[in-house]
Structure 1
């Protein structure tokens, strides 16, 4: 695998892994810079008391002329203001103060960063001390920096001339110590997101199950216990579904386990689908979308990124990620439509479509998580079905569970971090019936996202279980908010927020 590098240019110096990284500085007074950013709520004036009289008058006139009201996300820019030490002043609308959430501020940070970076503004001072909202000033400031840093990420290891421009932020806040401490936590989560984005964006020939395993091994230095099972061991354990999907590639399948024990509680299991490339097998995919199938391991990337985030934060949780890894390829060794695989659970599965392979690798990974860790809760994450995209698009992931408490917790967590989930029903088990096996791997009718989730339900046992289908969420073709083009790392912030808030 080629060198993976999170090209994030804004991070605390102690967390920086890139030579291009710049600092986010939280200050107790307004600093000098190329640009000044001030904020305005609807129904109030921007705080301009620190500007000289002529600059203040000029800016107030511009605000009035432009009918700028402080609506959320709107901006007004004054270039080369009179008698000012700043080359440009940007007024940013925050909307109603009682509606300004941490999630909104993170999204705003991403958009403002993109605007400033596009204009090659090297140093930015932010007058944040008087900003108020539903969250405290320290939380809002940390979230702004968090959103800016998330948006700053690029994956450009294959470009001859990757981007090298950096933006440095000096953010004047009400409580420097508290803000810095909070951002440290968010910056650790960013590192998990960047890992997931790197893994998802990397090309398939450089991100095989073996390459993924090597990336997982790198977490050992953080105190994470890594276990890797090879095809021979999978066969010995009876994991015929995972092993079968991997037969079409030279390397075969892997099961990767990453265990972070932040306490001695009963563990929580995160299970990730890790198809490093999905050709569809003999049920070959058609059309240009196949080029995006390098991202079919985004579920595994998300749960591994979450483990990294928890380890960096030294979180008080016991969480294990179990990742079923395989490349679903075509060869003389590949499983064929009509084959029957025996899962570790003991169920036999008729493979009526080799392109419905994700649920096969997950079935054995879920069994392993239950068998070896007896988790309190099990959450699986997968780019599982095109049906999910047709149902809820790519602005939501689809969530399935019979546990209302977990659904409510996940829904709230998603809202907090702009990774929202939408509940879809379980059911249609009868459509999975087979004449020669216990199940087929594809429903004969009914909504595809639901039949896939219901298939997985057969491997959850009595464990509290949630399935999250992130098809359409793993890669972004357009940058927006705190999400750049390419791998999104979707799921890391959702799972991190849920783990830290509910466990």
Structure 2
């Protein structure tokens, strides 16, 4: 698993600066005002810091960017990194500054002179997240990241905030690792095994095997995996840190998706190892909640299947009856994720009796066409609940945009042979997929569907992540829990 950089806080010791090795980072505001620590560094390196912040290069930097001074005269340090950050920065700027530092220093150890700056836990989170590298299957492993020490006046005052921030980073890394793994490694069995490892953190984990799923009537979910050698499973994770009905998180966990009999084009099919991204996010959130001891009740359910072509595979035109009793005509076996979620959503409501539900899935290419790779699609039957999530996502800098539900979309999934069909065709494909799921939500149950097809994995780096799996959603959902479900 990817190693998280060790980040700690220590008391500022300016007298030690001249003998320090490695990299020193200094936080300086846009105006170039030097803190006492920055002035000390400036004196030691013969005014190099003051000259740097007067240059055109410094002026062109956005907040959160950095400027590196290599081999500074007068210091034993090999580099000084000047971080452009206001004394009271916004969350996204603080995280960007930490991420910029991580990118500038790589795996090298670093000491950050940060006294007098707010949101240092967010700086630490950005520093941790941008250091991610998935090299599990490379012969030449990445160098283990060096420690980062942040110097402040009162280290104890920062301890809780940074501990919670690093719990979020651990959850994001868990999601990224799961999303990045190839399907021959992350089989349904291996996925379930990794989730059982959360028991060590206090999470209750229950694995429902195929025989139990058949007893429960999860015929829609089982239909998806019946062409695969990997057994279909549902994993239920319960974090009991509070009182009352839990918030439920439900994730699509298709470990590989060929499209089944409605097979996908060969080009790009290897990327379908990330089609379990929704289950990955649910898993990462549960790990974060456990690591930080969240005072909330949250249950996470993931449906783990593989969609393969085989003599036993589901065919276009087959009709299956879901756990709810709704019959479904499968007109396209590549619209399989909604079949998985349909049964898991219904099971969740019958057994866990949640206060509200959020489901996540890399569900439709149509959502990518609509929103690109900057925003997840948000669908909801409850304006208040949707507003809570959108506010949480905005606070965490995770793009999300609400898209419509409605009767017209329900009409698109009507069919003569069954109660509904599993796709409404190309028009409004993300909305018709969402209303399909809405058929499996009880009246009065607050529900959000997040289509994360465009944001779970990206082909270019972001502020907080290198190219590849992003872990989108862990931070926003953790914030939703903090703001609305956590007591004390």
Q: TM-score, normalised by structure 2?
A: 0.93
The answer for the alignment partner of 1:91 in structure 2 is 82
Q: In the alignment, which of 394, 398, 403 is matched to residue 373 of structure 2? A: 394
Return the alpha-carbon distance in structure 2 between the equivalents of residues 392 and 445 of structure 1.
16
Q: Classify 1:258/1:52 alpha carbon distance in 2 versus 1 (closer, same or farther; 3 Å).
A: closer
Return the alpha-carbon distance in structure 1 between the equivalents of residues 399 and 360 of structure 2.
14
Q: What stretches of structure 2 of length at least 5 have no aligned partner?
A: none
The answer for the alignment partner of 1:115 in structure 2 is 104
Return the alpha-carbon distance in structure 2 between the equivalents of residues 184 and 457 of structure 1.
38
Say whether the 8 Å CA contact 2:66–2:97 is kept in structure 1.
no
Whether 1:66 and 2:66 are equivalent positions in the alignment is no
Return the alpha-carbon distance in structure 2 between the equivalents of residues 156 and 147 of structure 1.
20
The answer for the alignment partner of 1:440 in structure 2 is 421
Whether 1:233 and 2:224 are equivalent positions in the alignment is no
The answer for the alignment partner of 1:7 in structure 2 is 3
State the secondary structure of the residue aligned to 1:204.
coil
Pairing 1:14-413 to 2, within 5 Å after superposition: 23-30=7-14, 32-47=20-35, 48-51=38-41, 53=43, 55=45, 57-66=47-56, 68-69=58-59, 71-94=62-85, 100-117=89-106, 122-131=108-117, 137=118, 140-413=119-392
Return the alpha-carbon distance in structure 2 between the equivalents of residues 66 and 243 of structure 1.
62
Say whether the 8 Å CA contact 1:111–1:480 is kept in structure 2.
no
State the secondary structure of the residue aligned to 1:466.
strand
Q: What stretches of structure 1 of length at least 5 have no aligned partner?
A: 12-22, 132-136
Say whether the 8 Å CA contact 1:387–1:449 is kept in structure 2.
yes
Return the alpha-carbon distance in structure 2 between the equivalents of residues 53 and 470 of structure 1.
50
Q: In the alignment, which of 437, 455, 469 is matched to residue 487 of structure 1? A: 469
- Deviation at residue 442 of structure 1 after TM alignment: 0.3
CA deviations over 1:421-465 (Å, ceiling 9, x no partner): 111111211000111000010014531111101111111112110
Task: Report the more deviating stretch, 474-483 or 26-35.
Answer: 26-35
State the secondary structure of the residue aligned to 2:54.
helix
The answer for the alignment partner of 2:430 in structure 1 is 449
- Deviation at residue 327 of structure 1 after TM alignment: 0.0
Say whether the 8 Å CA contact 1:141–1:173 is kept in structure 2.
no
State the secondary structure of the residue aligned to 2:40.
coil
CA deviations over 1:289-317 (Å, ceiling 9, x no partner): 21110111110111111111111211111
Report the number of matched residues.
475
Q: Classify 1:52/1:151 alpha carbon distance in 2 versus 1 (closer, same or farther; 3 Å).
A: closer
- Deviation at residue 411 of structure 1 after TM alignment: 1.3
- Deviation at residue 330 of structure 1 after TM alignment: 0.6
Q: Classify 1:420/1:27 alpha carbon distance in 2 versus 1 (closer, same or farther; 3 Å).
A: farther
